[in-house]
Amino acid sequence: MHAVVISIHVRPECIKEFAAATLENVRETLKERGVARFDLLRQADDPGRFLLVAVYRQAEDHARHKETPHYKRWAAAAEPLMAEPRTRTIYESVFPKESGWE
């Protein structure tokens, strides 16, 4: 499994717009082949901070996601709403093993 955690800090006046654009991207991403999970989380004590947690079956699935029209629309809409550039960390699944994601 190829997991990607993206940390995003959104400008306070843009939170609703960012959440709407991101939710649309999440819904479309979940339809992609090779996507095991895609979560949108908001920090409880700071509503302008979000995490995207995406789990792909293979690294190639992540690369393919970044070429989709919905990802490109999201990036174009979301980036101007951010207070700072987003950060991305890639993880490998220790547990559950790949069969546990079924």
The C-alpha torsion from 79 through 80 and 82 to 85, rounded to 10°, is 50
Supply the pTM of this predicted model.
Answer: 0.90
The structural domains of the chain, ordered by start, are 2-92 (3.30.70.100)
Taking only the tens place, the pLDDT of each residue in 5-54 is 999 999 999 999 999 999 999 999 999 999 999 999 999 999 999 999 99
- Residue 95 — pLDDT band, cuts 50, 70, 90? confident
What CA–CA distance (Å, rounded) separates 5 from 91?
8
Task: Supply the pLDDT for residue 102.
Answer: 60
Give the C-alpha separation, 67 to 25, whole Å. Answer: 13
pLDDT at 97: 73
List, in sequence order, the alpha helices (H) in 1-102. Answer: 15-29, 59-65, 69-78
Taking all residues of the chain, what is their mean pLDDT, rounded to a whole number?
Answer: 94
**What are the tokens at 94?**
């220790």
